Structure 1
Amino acid sequence: MERPQQTDSRAGLISGLSAYFMWGLFPIYFVATKAVPATEILAHRILWSLPFGLLILLFRRQIGDTIRAIRHPKTLALLALASVALAANWGVYIYAIQIEQIFQGSLGYYINPLIYVLVAVLFFGERLTRLQSGAIALAFVGVMVLTVYGGQFPVISLFLAASFTTYGVLRKLIDVGAMPGLFIEVLVLILPAIAYLVWLSHADILVFGTETRLNWLLIASGPITVLPLLAFAFAARRIRLSTLGILQFVGPTMQFLCGVYYGEPFTKAHAICFSLIWIGVAFFVLDGWRASRRASAP
């Protein structure tokens, strides 16, 4: 008979895999909505996340937590800054998929954890292990190979990594749950999003309303945004942080496979760059596993 803790851990692992699996399939959604400009998709993603997020808050009884966070000026200010970083990350990622740069999107989320570690060293006084240093060095060499040998500076990849790291650092400074925090961030962005959609409507260039299939796809951006985060929040409470650190590479790996499926050009420079990144990821995962073993040792 399984212990409750084992059952809880298994549920957390399944939930974490589900979250990163859903994030990994994002390119399919954004390819399906390619007829809609990236900025309009971003506005709809913000708009439809609000009511769906509210339902989740009601279900999880987190309305009180959300109100307390809104009433705290410093928390609200940091969440407002985080919302800008998140919206920029969302918008650039949608744009990347639409211009057939799925590999760059995947690369950005591969190197994001490495940049996060580098920020922790530079600004939070943490020390790099040898494996972490090797992983960051390999990522740097990989980016240089793609830039010099491949003739393509991965500006999209670096922006995605930097913006999501900024978002992560800001959220680290805020004592608020994942779902209440996301709801407040969406709340901050909702007025600009609605204003933009109204302007598109008056300019007669709003795609929403022109085709039933696209309408439903745009409405679906709400649950598509919120559900992975809900699964992630569930997992984060039930499995080790080191396990989550390993799972985070499931998303960019699936995005990479989506790029292969859609037939994006994969040059020799891409192959060298990704090979170096994958070795760096292996170093990163090994370091996390070692740290977990040391932490659990009696």
Structure 2
Amino acid sequence: MTSQARGLATPAQARKLHRGTLAAFVAYGMWGLLPLFWKQLSAVSALEVLCHRVIWSGLFLALVLLSQRRLGEVLRIWRERSSALAVVACAGLITLNWGIYIWAVQVDRVTEASLGYYITPLLSVALGAFLFHEKLDRWAGISTGLALLGVAVATWRLGSLPWVATVLSVSFALYGALKKKAGLDALSGLAAESLLCMPFALIYLAWKHGGAFFTGGPGTATLLILAGPVTAVPLLTFAYAAVRIPLQRLGFIQYFSPTLQLALGLFVLGEHLSGPMCFAFGTVVAAVLLYILSRPGQNRASA
């Protein structure tokens, strides 16, 4: 009896799964380490860094799609009214997400940003049930409710909403939901979004007479250009992983990124958590673990 007939992975399938899993860890690892990169640009305003991220990532992704002879996909997006409107909405959401995240790193709020990315997957589960009528089982509902309760109690104790975490989680969860509903490809969709925002970024930089790109020295200019590849390379790595491993495994690995961000904030960048924020983290992490452990059958199927 062959390994395939016994339900075991063939050597080729095992290699594919291994490479996909490694690529997923690399992608989320790069995203988790991004605060170290944005921290190098703390002398440049967050809005200016955002503009360069939009410009250089759009150009980099356009070159990647051109090399793959897929640039026509970006043009096809604009030919359909529904996909074009989705790109406009997604462009607004991802620009907001990028801008808030860059600013959060610059003002030493990496830990709060990491909380947002812990919440995002649970919020995506709730949006899936609301927008796509996906089945929300009891444990998924309890996990989502527990995470929201933790944030609500932290808000009450702090006297204000942890708005960085809230904006990052809501904007990215909505971004993912819109892309799914419109059926937008990760690479061509992001290229279309970046190219849409590029004229506005160029106008702002022209108004600033080039800003830090010309006044900050060659080191700063190089870092600003690298904002393009730094944005696109993790996405390309993620796209490689997403077609090679089960979504359940990919969903589990995604928590590697906010965990790295949290560790960087606490142990490298010298940030501190207040009591209410510790409570919020505790409940959100508990909710994440509850969600993961409540679906052993799915985990076994994905192993």
TM-score > 0.5 by shorter chain: yes
Q: Which amino acid aligns with 2:263?
A: L
**Residues 65-144 of structure 1 correspond to what in structure 2 (within 5 A)?**
65-144=73-152
Tell me the CA shift for residue 292 of structure 1: 4.4
> 1:208: how far off?
1.4
Taking the aligned partners of 1:198 and 1:231, their CA distance within structure 2 comes to: 33
Contact 1:112 1:161 in 2 (8 A): yes
**Which residue does 1:18 correspond to in 2?**
26
Q: Which moved more, 1:49-58 or 1:85-94?
A: 49-58
Q: What secondary structure is seen at the aligned counterpart in 2 of 1:132? A: helix
Deviation at 1:90, TM superposition (A): 0.5
Q: C-alpha separation between the residues in 1 aligned to 2:77 and 2:182?
A: 9
Q: 1:152 to 1:27 in 2, by over 3 A?
A: farther
Counterpart of 1:208 in 2: which secondary structure? helix
Q: What is the one-letter code of the residue matched to 1:127?
A: K
In the TM superposition, what are the counterparts of 1:1-298 in structure 2 within 5 Å?
Answer: 3-201=11-209, 206-210=211-215, 211-260=217-266, 261-293=268-300
How far apart, CA to CA, are the structure 2 residues paired with 1:136 and 1:262?
Answer: 30
Aligned letter for 2:285? W
1:26 deviates by 1.2
Aligned-residue sequence identity (percent) comes to 35
Shift in Å, 1:113: 0.9
- Is the alpha carbon distance of 1:288 and 1:36 closer, same or farther for their aligned partners in structure 2, counting shifts above 3 Å? farther
Q: Tell whether the 8 Å contact from 1:242 to 1:288 is kept in structure 2 after alignment.
A: no
Cα deviations by residue, 1:191-227 (Å, 9 ceiling, x for unpaired): 101111101118xxx1111221111111100000000
Give the match's secondary structure for 2:182: coil
CA distance in 1, matches of 2:295, 2:263: 25
1:22-78 CA distances to partner (integer Å, 9 max, x unpaired)? 110111111111001010000000111122112211333322333322322321221
- Describe the shift of the 1:122–1:175 C-alpha distance in structure 2 as closer, same or farther (beyond 3 A): closer
The one-letter amino acid of 2:286's match is I
> 3-state DSSP class of the match of 2:212?
coil
How far apart, CA to CA, are the structure 2 residues paired with 1:287 and 1:59? 43
The amino acid across from 1:157 in the alignment is A
Paired with 1:240 and 1:133, the residues of 2 have a C-alpha distance of: 22
The 8 Å contact of residues 60 and 232 in structure 2, kept in 1 or not, is answered as yes
Deviation at 1:182, TM superposition (A): 1.0
RMSD, aligned CA: 1.9
1:2 Cα deviation after fit? 6.4
Query: Using a 3 Å threshold, how does the CA distance of structure 1 residues 288 and 207 change in structure 2: closer, same or farther?
Result: farther
- CA distance in structure 2 between the aligned counterparts of 1:158 and 1:267, rounded to whole angstroms: 17
CA contact (8 A) 1:105 1:156 kept: yes
Following superposition, which runs of at least 4 residues in structure 1 exceed 4 angstroms of deviation? none
Contact 1:242 1:289 in 2 (8 A): no
User: 1-side partners of 2:56 and 2:73: how far apart?
Assistant: 21
Name the amino acid aligned to 2:262: F
Q: Equivalent residue of 2:214, what SS?
A: coil
Q: Which of 136-145 and 217-226 deviates more?
A: 136-145
- Tell me the CA shift for residue 271 of structure 1: 2.0
Which sections of structure 2, spanning at least 5 residues, go unmatched? 1-8
Give aligned pairs, total.
Answer: 293
Q: Distance in 1 between matches of 2:297 and 2:64?
A: 36
Q: Which runs of 5+ in 1 are unaligned?
A: none
| Residue 289 of structure 1: how far off its partner (Å) | 4.4
